[in-house]
Amino acid sequence: MKRPMRILVALGAALLPATHSRAVEAQPAELRGTGDLGIVVERADGALLVIDTTLRRAIGRIEGLGDLSHASAVFSPDERYAYVFGRDGGLTKVDVLTASIARRIVQAGNSIGGAISDDGALIAVANYEPGGVKVFDAGTLAEVADIPAIWPGGRSKTLGLEDTRGRRFLFSLWDAGETWIADFSQGNVPVVTKLKGIGERPYDALISNSGRFYIAGLFGEDGLSLVDLWKSPPQARRILAGYGRGELQLPVYKMPHLESWAEAGDRFALPAIGRNEILWVDARSFEEVGRSKVCGQPVFAVANPDGRHVWVNFAHPANGVIQVLDSLTGEVVKELAPGPSVLHIEFTPRGNEVWVSVRDAGVVQVYDTRTFEKKAEVAARSPSGIFLAARAHRIGL
């Protein structure tokens, strides 16, 4: 009996034409992987650069994504598609292989980030207007569920949307002071658990690398709210009492996002709000165990994948500086000056290099994380967020 013939199909720009976009430099019609690809947000233009981290250059540009002033992105399990969440309520499915828009919808009036389920089947978006979370089929972007954030005071803004194992999404309600867990494990009709009284005005959140801990920052009071998802039933409790918005003495030039917590070994590195400090927090007890003096108010503290160092950028007037901290001692071991308005830091999957967006210089810079040598510069128009395809395989990214 003859063996069936195997046919290899080349993936290229000619096979899937761009819609609502223009590929400046089309991909060659040849087989290639996706593991070294990523996107850079050009926020002022509503556009994306598609980047190749092996070649250290841009290989395409995609236009027509709307308001990207607070844009974030997640990736499909096969790393081919990026789902981009715009501030104008836009949800855009981008094909990074063909540098084109595969599908785009405007699902709300004002949105603030999203997440993808652990099986890659569902895309969730947190909305300010109308308040709530909408969930979509990852393949078609057809709406699967609408979870309005209704509480006795009306309809609340939602934020801090994170994914965790078991087709679950977590998010917090700014107006209500609650965290909700939407469980899609039994199908597309979610079971919603509401944790009430978590604290006043949760403004952002993160989830730990393991997916166990969900932590929400509280804008209206000191401390943070922590949910241990391994416990049944999950309950919220306060941590880091005495730290937070209520005790600020310095003006805050830019609020750090809670996702800027760096999980490095057995500690978290937390950008201190309104202080020129990094707080070190024990990853088990969630008690403060140390502080590091830095040159400005930190915005992002990002750990190398091995956890050995934490790279920190800053708000004005130190926003042209990056400091690298030793995660064992907390000491600053290197200071870099990439240029004006460093906005985002993204490591390659094994941490050998790091990509840094320098908005006001119009470039993305690439550094060797061992020698700290600058390896390349990639021209970009007002670059902000950098998202590499390897994020597909991490909880909460």
For residue 2, what is the DSSP state?
Answer: P
Which pTM value belongs to this model?
0.90
The CATH number linked to 224 is 2.130.10.10
Question: Cα 353 vs. chain centroid, distance in angstroms?
Answer: 19
Q: State how many domains the chain has.
A: 1
Contact 204/257 with Cβ under 8 angstroms? Answer: yes
Range of the domain at 199: 107-247
* Domain assignment present for 40: no
Candidates 80, 71, 144, 69; CA nearest to 113 is 71
pLDDT confidence band for 90 (50 / 70 / 90) = very high
* Domain assignment present for 113: yes
Q: Reply yes or no on whether the pLDDT at 132 is more than 50.
A: yes
* Domain assignment present for 58: no
Contact 320/305 with Cβ under 8 angstroms? Answer: no
pLDDT confidence band for 217 (50 / 70 / 90) = confident
* Domain assignment present for 240: yes
**pLDDT given at position 231:** 94
* Domain assignment present for 118: yes
Residue type (1 letter), 201: R
Please state, as a whole number, how many other Cβ atoms lie within 10 Å of the Cβ of residue 265: 12
Candidates 346, 344, 345; CA nearest to 388 is 346
pLDDT confidence band for 253 (50 / 70 / 90) = low
SS3 content of the chain, % helix, strand, coil (to 5): 5, 50, 45
* Domain assignment present for 266: no
For residue 255, what is the DSSP state?
Answer: P
Cα→Cα distances 367→166, 205, 349, 390, Å: 37, 29, 14, 18
**pLDDT given at position 355:** 98
Could you report the per-residue pLDDT of 19-74, keeping only the tens digit for each? 344 444 545 557 889 999 999 999 999 999 999 999 999 999 999 999 999 899 99
Mean pLDDT of 80-98: 97
